Chain A
Amino acid sequence: MAEISIRSMRKSFGATSVLKDVALEIADGEFLTLLGPSGCGKSTLLRILAGLEVQTGGSLAIGERVVDGVRPKRRDVAMVFQSYALYPHMTVLENMALPLRMRRLSAWQRLPLVGRLLPGTKVTADQIDQDVRRTADALSIGHLLDRKPGQLSGGQRQRVAVGRAMVRQPAVFLMDEPLSNLDAKLRVQMRAEIKELHKRLGVTFVYVTHDQSEAMTMSDRVAVMLDGELLQVAPPQEIYADPDDRRVAEFIGSPKINMLEAKLREDGFAETAGTSFSIPADLAHGTTLALGIRPEAFHLVDSHGENVLTGSVRLTEHMGSDLYVHLAVPGSDHPVIARLLAERAPHITSGQTLHLGVKPERLLLFAADGRRLRPDNRPNGTVLRMKEHA
């Protein structure tokens, strides 16, 4: 049906290379999120999928069909734009009906006055009208059909934009940061609605965002993109807990993952920040590596020792159920941030000395070049590791 296969896709604008050899297989009916910081090439990739931009190299197939050079109209994809891109001079009804009119009516039938007189126009036009109304009702914008986009709120415009994409029942939905113009509350609500829409329609969604909570909550799989490269493509939980690359680990998670540069001793301990951690991998001694510790991997202990960070509390932040503790540790410029359960640690004040323990299996190890080092010492975290598809 509508699986998407992107093979060694490249795109440059003049001398700047925006996409560098991107490869990705998206299954039919999957909700895949492209996640990355601003300017990493997400929109460019999406525009190439839609046929609005021509790639410099590589190939693209939607369904069984290679669509390189196929016009946007013939690709059976619909797109929701960040700016919504509604036509300001048309009513909501006209906005939503346009894609259907362009597809179902002939050029003659679309003529302003003559068109009505041609055989079949009326039947088709009524059908279009019905389809638009049904879609509008499904998105609860049925009462807005006679308004112009300028008379709608941001959230309503967003729904109209989704409606215009939905009404022609495309095989693939492309969404470019559709929620970024909404306020926080509406964003959470629309997140759920889009997810619901995906379940209901069962078609392939490619969703672009730079907001990791959107990516984590909505997706079947997340593709993390940085500087035009895909660093990792995996289910949200795996992206968080088992990152392939240091940049992925640092990009995902809030507060950010703590990174401690460490030197490996002969006895298999990594030395950093005034303590040493037992390293499960048998790495060559003297290797420098980075220890990644998620803020919630810490637990309070009574005294200093191996696998225990000791430092003085700089700042505490109460976040309701959680307590964020900023800890100044020796040999590190930025404080280590720990996330503790508030009810277990009610007594912490700034200035006090604190001991935070980490279970060795919760350490994420990264080589100097940023590759992930797995516990069994198999550096399989290659930059472009892909899920194998049979």
Chain B
Amino acid sequence: MSTQHTRRLALPSAILRHTALLATGALILIPFVWMVSLSIKPPGEIFRASFSFWPEQFYGLENYTRALTEAPLPQYMLNGVIVCTMIVVLQVAVCAPAAYALAKLDFPGRNLLFAMVLIALLLPHEVLALPLFILGYQIGILNTYAALILPYIVSPFGIFLFRQFFKTIPDDVIHAARLDGLSEFAIVWKIMVPMALPAIIAFGIFSVVSHWNSLFWPLIAVRDQNLMPPPLGIMAFKNEEAGNDYGPLMAAATIVVAPLIAAFLSAQRWFVEGLTGGAVK
């Protein structure tokens, strides 16, 4: 087994591949490195023509203090945690049973429903902003956490992804579960979801990242500063008149993306597996 995995590439081709991979990796990483670098520099050094990662004068403390105090960034981050957690939990709670029904149950109209899921997959969420705003107004949830959470709990992408994954689970497993006495909901939660865990985790990461970073809908749905999402903490340093205040802005940006990077790294194994393998066994 191990001999197969460690099979050596010919040297030139190995160099070529690694160069290509390193170049793409660098391309994606450089902005982040730059961001961190800028976040610890004083204003004077930021616009120097020459680039160095380390500042001559360490200004990190000042930048980060301003980032954390000038706007209520901690509050925004807390909002982000609450909203994203609720969204993910509710999304899975809604999508898993729906996907199970679409993948494994036989009922009239199933294909039509799945076609509608596919159509919903094509619609950008922004298109729905106005109807959702009016709906939110009608049921009186604007300017609450509910306004930030509820529009997202039915995720066509989640339903689609789970459905594809559930399809790969053999029918016999479900038959066995029924004989063992599990109800249909118990089958979803005790059998299907654990077996599809890589897909669920991958989906969770997608979902958290996109809602953590989203600004469009929160700015429409809520006005209360105490409900605003993390990116607003970055916006505070975008100043029309005096020009942007780059040091604290970059510090805020670093703080905002740090939890995402930490979460991704810890779930990396699952994430990669979920995207590449539909294999259950």
> B181-198 vs A: 1/0 string, CB under 8 Å?
110001000010011010
Residue of B with least CB distance to A71: B178
Which residues from B are CB-within-8-Å of A73?
A: 178-181
**Any chain B CB within 8 A of the CB of A103?**
yes
Residue of B with least CB distance to A176: B172
Which residues from B are CB-within-8-Å of A201?
A: none
Which residues from A are CB-within-8-Å of B195?
A: 87-89
Given A79-B176, A85-B173, A88-B195, also A103-B280 (CB < 8 A): no
Which residues from B are CB-within-8-Å of A81?
A: 172, 175-176
Complex Cα–Cα for A169 and B195 (A): 27
Complex Cα–Cα for A51 and B191 (A): 20
Please classify how large the interface on chain A is, using the bins under 10, 10 to 19, 20 to 34, 35 or more. Answer: 20 to 34
Q: Which of A87, A102, A150 sits near B173, CB closer than 8 Å?
A: A87
Contact yes or no, A52 B170, CB < 8 A: no
Contact yes or no, A99 B180, CB < 8 A: yes
**Any chain B CB within 8 A of the CB of A156?**
no
Contact yes or no, B175 A50, CB < 8 A: yes
Complex Cα–Cα for A350 and B173 (A): 53
> A48-61 vs B: 1/0 string, CB under 8 Å?
00111000000000
**Any chain B CB within 8 A of the CB of A82?**
yes
Complex Cα–Cα for A164 and B195 (A): 19
Complex Cα–Cα for A150 and B280 (A): 10
Given A87-B191, A88-B280, also A103-B172 (CB < 8 A): no
Which residues from A are CB-within-8-Å of B194?
A: 87, 89
Contact yes or no, A99 B281, CB < 8 A: no
> A-side binding surface: helix, strand, loop or mixed?
mixed
Residue of A with least CB distance to B194: A89
Given A88-B195, A89-B194, A150-B281, also A79-B179 (CB < 8 A): yes
Given A99-B181, A102-B181, A102-B182, also A85-B281 (CB < 8 A): no
Contact yes or no, A78 B179, CB < 8 A: yes
> A70-85 vs B: 1/0 string, CB under 8 Å?
0111000111011101
**Any chain B CB within 8 A of the CB of A198?**
no
**Any chain B CB within 8 A of the CB of A47?**
yes
**Any chain B CB within 8 A of the CB of A26?**
no
Residue of A with least CB distance to B169: A88
Contact yes or no, A72 B179, CB < 8 A: yes
Contact yes or no, A85 B175, CB < 8 A: yes
Q: Which of B172, B182, B186 sits near A85, CB closer than 8 Å?
A: B172
Residue of A with least CB distance to B280: A88
Q: Which of A51, A77, A88 sits near B281, CB closer than 8 Å?
A: A88
Which residues from A are CB-within-8-Å of B170?
A: 83, 85
Q: Which of B173, B175, B191, B280 sits near A79, CB closer than 8 Å?
A: B175
Q: Give the residue among B173, B181, B182, B195 with the most A Cβ atoms within 10 A.
A: B181
A52-B175, A73-B179 provided; 7 other pairs, C-beta below 8 A? Answer: A73-B180, A73-B181, A81-B172, A81-B176, A83-B170, A83-B172, A99-B181
Between-chain CB contacts (< 8 Å), 10 pairs: A50-B179, A73-B179, A79-B176, A81-B176, A85-B173, A88-B195, A88-B280, A89-B194, A98-B180, A102-B180
Which residues of B pack against A, CB within 8 Å? 170, 172-173, 175-182, 186, 191, 194-195, 197, 280-281
Which residues of A pack against B, CB within 8 Å? 47, 50-52, 71-73, 77-79, 81-83, 85-89, 98-99, 102-103, 150, 164
